[in-house]
Chain A
């Protein structure tokens, strides 16, 4: 049970949005699809749900090709920026309509979430504020009960309290009945602890694809007097470094080994690791 992405390339005119992407999203795991704006995250999710057509490559869901295949597509639900319902439909009616094309859609659960978020279900979709329009789409996604739930920048436009509620609801639902979810986001710090497996995409290419604990364990930060740090760093793989007065801090890829007296070691979190990796790529 998995989504297999094989050698996907996508060109928009002269621009290559995805460049030979190969990935697997396995069963019942929470994935983070991490990348800066324009990295190709939405394009990939669009191709996975057959909204966009790949220039090359194939995508299968549980072994079935997704292209023009309703049975494969029925297992995947994408929450993205676009609204799938007629603009002048009420939220309540839209929940009813969702039941028609997603048979496992749980209407009672959707209504319950609407109350929780304070979403007025009598309102027409077009009259919802940006934040509530996002909440509406998230509720539909969380209630769809598909084995694969793809979330493209799910918390964009949500205030802090609603973002918090959303993350908890997602984990609660996952805890009760696990499914595969891909959280595509550039807001890494917020989602970092939720993610079991991280995929980092940059300029249409996958540059990391591994358990997030492995990523953060693969780098560390070291700081101390600049001279000492410099001699320690000699021959090591430096991701980033900065100097503040006589104090130097560096983010280093690899294992620290025994540190000389006078140097401080610390772990890096997923967001720091991501930023360091991007800065290193920028220099290439």
Chain B
């Protein structure tokens, strides 16, 4: 991964960690890479890495084991999934409905299109 998009690096790092938890790359109660490992791997200042990791600590997804490093909390995956569902509603469903209204589609027409989508997409 390189940090080329325009959002701040610490946010991108936090998102990458979340992806890792969701995909199972960082299982619950396992250690995530250290600040130095992130810093060296991505050539970023350790303070930036710390800021990214702290976002997940603040939301309870990671916790610190003294002297050992940062660990994934039990229940982190479920917590992330429900966060993602909320975000999915805001990012996709609201926009979808807005565009549907622009095009003059009503709820049942949109529902039918979504059903068709479920059949077409693997």
Contacts and interface: CB of A to CB of B under 8 A. Distances in A.
Nearest to A269: B6
Q: For chain A, which range describes its interface: under 10, 10 to 19, 20 to 34, or 35 or more residues?
A: 10 to 19
Contacts of A174: 39, 46
Interface in A185-206: 193-196
Nearest to A212: B45
Nearest to B43: A167
Contacts of A30: 45
A267 B40 contact: no
Interface in B7-56: 7-9, 34-36, 39-40, 42-48
B9 A171 contact: no
Contact of B40 (A168, A196, A213): A168
Contact of A172 (B36, B42, B44, B48): B36
Contacts of A172: 36, 40
Nearest to A174: B46
Secondary structure of the A contact surface, majority rule: helix
A172 B39 CA distance: 8
A175 B42 contact: no
Contact of A171 (B3, B7, B8, B39): B39
A171 B40 contact: yes
A266 B7 CA distance: 9
B47 to A, nearest CB: 5
A193 B40 contact: no
A194 B45 contact: yes
A174 B40 CA distance: 10
A282 interface: no
B45 A175 contact: no
A194 B43 contact: yes
A176 interface: yes
A175 B6 contact: no
B47 A176 contact: no
Interface in A253-280: 266-267
A177 to B, nearest CB: 10
Contact of A193 (B7, B35, B44): B44
Given A193-B9, A267-B7, A168 B43 contact: yes
Contact of B35 (A167, A175, A194, A195): A175
A266 B4 CA distance: 13
Interface in B51-83: none
Contacts of A175: 34-36, 39-40, 46
A213 B43 contact: no
Enumerate the 4 nearest inter-chain pairs by beta-carbon distance, A residue then B residue, closest first. Answer: A175-B36, A193-B44, A267-B6, A171-B39
15 contacts: A168-B40, A168-B43, A171-B40, A171-B43, A171-B44, A171-B45, A171-B46, A172-B40, A174-B46, A193-B3, A194-B43, A194-B45, A195-B45, A196-B45, A196-B47
Given A164-B43, A172-B40, 7 more contacts: A168-B40, A171-B45, A172-B36, A193-B9, A196-B45, A213-B48, A267-B6
Interface of B: 3, 6-9, 34-36, 39-40, 42-48
